Amino acid sequence: MNFFILPNLISYNVSYKRYILFYFAIFISSFIISHPLKAQTPPRPEIDLNDFIEDLTQESDQTIDYSQLFDRLQDFLQNPIDLNKTDRDELASLFILNESQLNSFFQYRGKFGNLLSVYELQSIPEFDLNTIYRLLPFVNATDVGINVGGQNLFQRIAHEDNSWVMVRYQQLIEPQVGYETVISGQDTFVSKDPYQGDQFKLYSRVSISHTKDFSLGLVAEKDAGEAFAWNPDSSRYGMDYYSGHFQLYNKGKFKTIALGDYQLQFGQGLVMNTGFTMGKGAETITTARKPGSGIRPYSSVIEGGFLRGGAVTYSLLKFFDISAYYSWLNVDADIKTVKDSLNQEEAFISRFEEQGFHRTKNELLSRNTVITQTMGSHASYNAPSGLWQAGATWTRTNYMDSDSLKPVNFKKSPYPYNYFEFTGNTNEVFGADFTIIWRNFNFFGEAARSDSGGTGQIYGLIASLSKQVEFAYVYRNYSKDFHSIFGNPFAESSRPINEKGTYWGIKITPNKRWVWSCYFDIFDFPWLKYQIDGPSGGKEFLTKITYTPSKHNNVYFQFKYENKLNNTSDELAYLDYLSPAIKNSYRLHYNYKLPGSPENQISMASRIELNDYSRLFSVTTYGYMLVQDFNFEINRFTFGTRCALFDIPDFNNRIYSYEKNVLYAFSTPTVSGTGLRTYFLLRTRIIKNLDFWGRYALFSYRDRKIVGSGNELSAGNNRSEIILQLRYKF
């Protein structure tokens, strides 16, 4: 290693103290790397993004598509964050650094100037080796610029290393009722509305991107049961779903220019947040605040919840930005027709079909029946000190019939729980947000009002009380008539409506081996909800203790308590009434990696998961799952497998279990019943730049002779799936 760096340091005009700190960091780093000590900081270590995401989302109670988060992290791996140009929101979006560390980093950079190397992170107060090791895969301190060699945009796209094409084939193996008649014992099952296409699912994607320069992508998908069809009159062109985007960054005063499909994240997401955000989970601090990432490409296969059209972010002044967006998107919806008092027909939207399936004749009737037109803007001011920022968001959405282009009203079923729901053709929402940084405290919030007069508010803080203690607090209040179509802030429910709640989170790290974290959330629903015939509420508590004796192994114990009011039927009562439903979940998890070279790794994970569920006048039910994972990395081959035994007789005791899958595919199956869950995952490099993945997964039940229902029903006690995937890097 060359230690003659004094001329470079002089050219950077740094202080003598800075020179000593940096020289010392380089010396220590070279000593660490050349000696087998316990604490090592290797440059740009390899990382498994599946493991990284699972660590953030260990307590997921639903099936979630993590592809948007994976996209962002994968982009940072290919094009690391430049520590000398990054801002607070970008670094915070990694969910690695706490408030004290973020403050310390920007104070250090403001005092000493640009970092000369990632090794200099060791000189920053609050940065320990474990944090640096987690951060290194996503960052660098080498400014090579975005116009390398003076190339124009088309040349940069043509020569971009982060460019690839991927094709995936996926299919359930057992025949299902939706495709053919199924015979099970003495029973014969025939579909009344069979699937129109084949049983396999096909997915392809092309991506070319460079962080803070450009992003270009195209996604095409056909779900299982959907037919290949070429009918321009019905907007069908082979594959059932297409999504494409083209985005440019940092072009003069234009920070972002987006065409095609995109997503928006402003403020705390109360008015506009169509992107993926973390919710309550095992990470109790950093996920409490929503980092506003502005305009981002959309490349998911979820056929809804995004915008299609154009968006820009423009710097009017050095510290003042304004964003504007417009979207014209066809969506699936059920349109009903009724006659009014004058015997004239009136059409209205009864519900939106958000799953994106077009497999049967009935599902095809709802395809692209409504146009959602959305427009809006966001203005933000970032103080020169970087210690506070303020913003305002306005959005307007209206619905039109896709055939006649005439306005069409949205009207939910006239049940009592829908009394305050949005009704009409047009909805507008306006909100204001802020972030204030004072010492190691980060205060944030947003307030908004919709056309109906309903309001939404969310306020919170994240604080580093000391090097060992972090704290988070969030208060939210979303009125029963607050209507934010694209809102997705911190909440218990999936939408910001009819909810009040208070969240407390804490994390204590007494030393590098032990971490204790927990959260407590209490919430109320002032009005009725679906299948809850009265004002209700609940509370949740989660605690997790992690012990990491070495970098090769760790163990954690996690407990979660849920108490929510639900309808209860009683033969002695005239009406249903509300009573608490209580669920206790326990998890013990152990990870172990055998020491070895980077080319040959063996790791394993063991988990015991138990829970109990009880309701008034009902017998307490129990469920458990035992999981064993093995993962091998041998030269060009990566192999992973799982064997899980489960006994979960009641669906209320169901367990959502995160599993490894092929690249850009995520599996969090719902586990219930009694049986075995297993999968085998293989990855290998066939030739240079060509990677192959294969996955076989199986549910083998012991408590049933048929699996599934409706068109998804199959005979026997097995449900198995195969996935084959190829990716070629240009």
Alpha-carbon span 296 to 157, nearest angstrom = 18
Reply yes or no on whether the pLDDT at 17 is more than 50: no
Rounded to the nearest integer, the mean pLDDT of the chain is 86
Q: Exposure of 496 by Cβ count < 10 A (0-12 exposed, 13-18 middle, 19+ buried)?
A: buried
In this prediction, residue 473 has a pLDDT band, given cuts at 50, 70 and 90, of: very high
State how far the alpha carbon of 722 is from the alpha carbons of 381, 707, 719, in Å: 50, 17, 11
Per DSSP, the chain holds a count of helices (H) and strands (E) of 9, 38
Comparing 244 with 234, the larger pLDDT belongs to: 244
The torsion angles phi and psi of 497, rounded to 5 degrees, stand at -150, 140
In this prediction, residue 41 carries a pLDDT of 39
Reply yes or no on whether the pLDDT at 727 is more than 90: yes
pLDDT in tens, 255-267: 999 999 999 999 9
Span 434-443, average pLDDT = 92
DSSP 659-671: B--STT--B-PEE
Comparing 207 with 80, the larger pLDDT belongs to: 207
Buried b (16+ CB within 10 A) or exposed e, 531-566: ebbbebbbbbbbbbebebeeeeebebebebebebbb
Reply yes or no on whether the pLDDT at 19 is more than 50: no
| Share above pLDDT 70 across residues of the chain, in percent, rounded to a whole number | 89
R_g over Cα of the chain: 27
Q: Which long-range contacts (CB under 8 A, 24 or more apart) does 705-708 make?
A: 705/184, 705/185, 706/182, 706/184, 706/187, 706/189, 707/174, 708/176
pLDDT in tens, 47-78: 777 777 777 665 555 556 666 777 777 777 77
The answer to whether 391 touches 380, Cβ cutoff 8 Å, is yes
In this prediction, residue 28 has a pLDDT band, given cuts at 50, 70 and 90, of: very low
Alpha-carbon span 272 to 448, nearest angstrom = 11
The two tokens of residue 165 are: 């094409």
- Bridge partners, 343 (sequence order): none
HEC string of 466-503? CCCEEEEEEEEEECCCCCCCCCCCCCCCCCCCCEEEEE
Reply yes or no on whether the pLDDT at 268 is more than 90: yes
Reply yes or no on whether the pLDDT at 29 is more than 60: no
* Nearest alpha-carbon partner for 470 in 509, 520, 443: 509
Residue 486's contacts (CB-CB under 8 Å, 6 or more residues apart) are 264, 271, 272, 273, 274, 305, 374, 395, 397
| Share above pLDDT 90 across residues of the chain, in percent, rounded to a whole number | 58
In this prediction, residue 248 carries a pLDDT of 95
In this prediction, residue 11 has a pLDDT band, given cuts at 50, 70 and 90, of: very low
* Nearest alpha-carbon partner for 177 in 713, 722, 654: 713
Reply yes or no on whether the pLDDT at 5 is more than 60: no
Span 480-503, average pLDDT = 95
pLDDT in tens, 547-570: 999 888 999 999 999 999 988 876
Pick from 278-287, 379-388, 473-482: least confident: 278-287
Tokens 């403050």, residue? 103
Alpha-carbon span 436 to 532, nearest angstrom = 39
The answer to whether 206 touches 165, Cβ cutoff 8 Å, is yes
In this prediction, residue 22 carries a pLDDT of 43
pLDDT in tens, 524-551: 999 999 889 899 999 999 999 999 998 8
HEC string of 314-339? EEEECCEEEEEEEEEEEECEEEEEEE
Reply yes or no on whether the pLDDT at 10 is more than 50: no
Q: What is the number of alpha carbons within 13 Å of residue 64 lying toward its C-beta?
A: 21
The two tokens of residue 488 are: 């997705």
In this prediction, residue 25 carries a pLDDT of 45
In this prediction, residue 300 has a pLDDT band, given cuts at 50, 70 and 90, of: confident
The two tokens of residue 470 are: 């972090």
Q: In terms of residues, how long is the chain?
A: 730
Residue 299: strand, helix, or coil: coil
The two tokens of residue 293 are: 């990432």
Reply yes or no on whether the pLDDT at 46 is more than 80: no
Q: Which of 38-47, 408-417, 598-607 has the highest mean pLDDT?
A: 408-417
In this prediction, residue 37 carries a pLDDT of 38
The answer to whether 492 touches 503, Cβ cutoff 8 Å, is no
Reply yes or no on whether the pLDDT at 203 is more than 60: yes
Output DSSP code: residue 227: P
Alpha-carbon span 257 to 218, nearest angstrom = 17
In this prediction, residue 205 carries a pLDDT of 95
Pick from 96-105, 274-283, 475-484: least confident: 274-283
State how far the alpha carbon of 408 is from the alpha carbons of 8, 327, 348, in Å: 66, 17, 6
Span 437-456, average pLDDT = 95
In this prediction, residue 6 carries a pLDDT of 32
How are the residues of the chain apportioned to helix, strand and coil, as percentages rounded to the nearest 5?
A: 15, 50, 35
